[in-house]
Amino acid sequence: MAYVSVPNTYRHYGVVEGDIGPDIVDFAHRVGITACDIETTGLTPGIDRLATFQLFMPNDVALVVRPGSHPPTNLIKLLQSPGVTKVFHHATFDLTFTFATWRVLAASVFCTKIASKVLEPHRTDHSLKTLLAKYFGVHISKAQRVSDWSAPVLSREQVEYALNDVIYLPSLIGRLSSELVQQGRWNLALSSFQYLPTRVALDVLGSGDVFKY
């Protein structure tokens, strides 16, 4: 089984400390789409720390942002912009951390995991690894998932792992969107995406699924 590695061929590539520049935000508005992911020190928002925020914009930007003690103003501006579609896999987890950390609710979000669940409700595995293998024959390694993301310096393997989780999301959104339209389920998925900010705020508040009995 062959595992992919991220080629260092992008104009903006690598690790960024603190925040992205305004030029990255401007480019995101020009291309209209940004793939996003995070790495954390654990699974509990408000207790564990958001360690990295990955960004990918087709053919130009592949960055691992390591936010500091101050909120990353430009990254937050990008998250809140309705003019840029932000593509996540398992957006609920990622956005709960960004809200717990910066009190930011993202706008214009597409979640590939939610899209897969709407398309195939009886499938039990909607992981990114499974979806990439299904649609593109791509196999990504998850060996670095539990590595130390708070380390002073990230290893090359960590950077490649982090970016592998975002570089395929723009292509995946195309495949999933097409199938959602073909099956007449696009509006159902869209409504689910639009509910995400509310669900995130409820989770952080502690209310969770307010529709349960």
Q: What average pLDDT values come out for the chain (213 residues) when binned by 10 residues?
A: 55 94 98 98 95 96 95 98 98 97 96 99 97 95 85 93 95 98 98 97 95 94
5 belongs to a structural domain = no
33 belongs to a structural domain = yes
- pLDDT given at position 210: 96
pTM exceeding 0.85? yes
- pLDDT given at position 143: 78
- pLDDT given at position 4: 46
Other CB atoms within a 10 A radius of the CB of residue 187 amount to 10
Query: Using CB atoms within 10 A of its CB, is residue 28 exposed (0-12), middle (13-18) or buried (19+)?
Result: buried
Q: How many domains does the chain have?
A: 1
Which ranges constitute the DSSP H helices of 61-185? 73-80, 91-102, 112-119, 128-136, 156-164, 169-182
Domain that holds residue 76: 12-205
CATH code of 154's domain: 3.30.420.10
3 belongs to a structural domain = no
2 belongs to a structural domain = no
210 belongs to a structural domain = no
Is residue 52 within a helix (H) or strand (E), and if so which, with residue range? strand 50-57
